[in-house]
Amino acid sequence: MANHPPYSVVLTYLEDRQEFSLQAIDRAKLTSVVAGSLEIPVLLDEHKFNLDDAFARRLGAAMLALIALGQPAIEQYMNITKDPIE
């Protein structure tokens, strides 16, 4: 197995191409770029350190909602539940 540095993942909505782009970036190289930008902590203890399907769904929904703040045209494609599914 290859030895990888810690990554940050960047999700970009490319509106003109109607696609998402995922990039894995060496975290050390990204530090200066993200300094002073909006940061939303997701505390693992609030989820009992359980990274399950429900956690992934909520994380994905939050990421889409953030993208929609700057690119509201994507909302026409969004059909997500914002509250936890019980």
In tens, the pLDDT along 33-52 reads 999 999 999 999 999 999 99
Can you list the residues of the chain whose pLDDT is less than 70? 82-86
Separation between Cα atoms, residue 64 and residue 58, nearest integer Å: 10
The residue written with tokens 């509250």 in the block is 83
**Predicted structure pTM score:** 0.83
Separation between Cα atoms, residue 38 and residue 82, nearest integer Å: 20
